[in-house]
Amino acid sequence: MPLVVNLRHLEAHNLELKGELPAAKLDLALRDDMVRAEEPLRFDLEVQKLERSLLVRGRLRLVLHCQCVRCLKPFRRELALDEWTRLLPLEGEERVEVVNDCVDLTPSVREDILLEFPQHPLCEADCRGLPHSGSDRATKTLDPGPTAARSSAWAELDKLKF
């Protein structure tokens, strides 16, 4: 079911929209390999016409297929907007496009969904990352030690006297 509302249907009463929208119809154009939207968006919305705008309220749910940025483990995260509300003006500079008395709600939904996407998805809040091999060499390489600290640029700046 597309997210299109006919304004003539709103003259008599509010509209209820329930259904699913394929992820491809959202046109998310993700360039991130760590987050993918492959499952359909589920929506349960109520649309009300006010004087010069539309009030859209309801729930949006989308399952994201993610890959942890620390351990690279794949996991799924449900993106849930339970109290989603949007006021869409029908007049003025910010007005929504009306084609044949119909308004497409998809751009507004897309925008708010993208704002909720995880920037750095983690499988768990305390994910420790990739497991280290038995050797302690990786840790030693990352630790600069006291010699490196003394020869740093900050140490040289500390020698300046003003």
User: What is the predicted pLDDT for the residue at 133?
Assistant: 60
* Integer-rounded Cα radius of gyration of the chain: 25
59: CB partners within 8 A, 6+ apart? 42, 43, 44, 45, 80, 81, 82, 83, 84
Question: Is residue 139 in a domain?
Answer: no
Question: Is residue 61 in a domain?
Answer: yes
Question: Is residue 124 in a domain?
Answer: no
Question: Is residue 125 in a domain?
Answer: no
Domain hosting 47: range is 4-116
Of the candidates 112, 19, 113, 117, the residue with the CA atom closest to the CA atom of residue 65: 117
The tens digit of pLDDT for each residue in 61-107 reads 999 999 999 898 999 999 999 999 999 998 888 888 888 888 999 99
User: What is the predicted pLDDT for the residue at 23?
Assistant: 86
User: What is the predicted pLDDT for the residue at 138?
Assistant: 46
User: What is the predicted pLDDT for the residue at 144?
Assistant: 54
User: What is the predicted pLDDT for the residue at 146?
Assistant: 56
**Sign, CA torsion 19/117/35/133:** negative
Question: Is residue 104 in a domain?
Answer: yes
Query: Could you tell me whether strands 74-89 and 98-99 are parallel, antiparallel, or unpaired per DSSP bridges?
Result: unpaired
Low-confidence ranges of the chain (pLDDT < 70): 1-2, 132-151
Question: H or E stretch including 19?
Answer: strand 15-21
Question: Is residue 92 in a domain?
Answer: yes
Question: Is residue 129 in a domain?
Answer: no
Tally of domains within the chain? 1
User: What is the predicted pLDDT for the residue at 62?
Assistant: 93
User: What is the predicted pLDDT for the residue at 139?
Assistant: 46
User: What is the predicted pLDDT for the residue at 137?
Assistant: 47
User: What is the predicted pLDDT for the residue at 151?
Assistant: 60
Q: Which two tokens stand for residue 68?
A: 């942890």
Question: Is residue 45 in a domain?
Answer: yes
**Sign, CA torsion 98/104/106/112:** positive
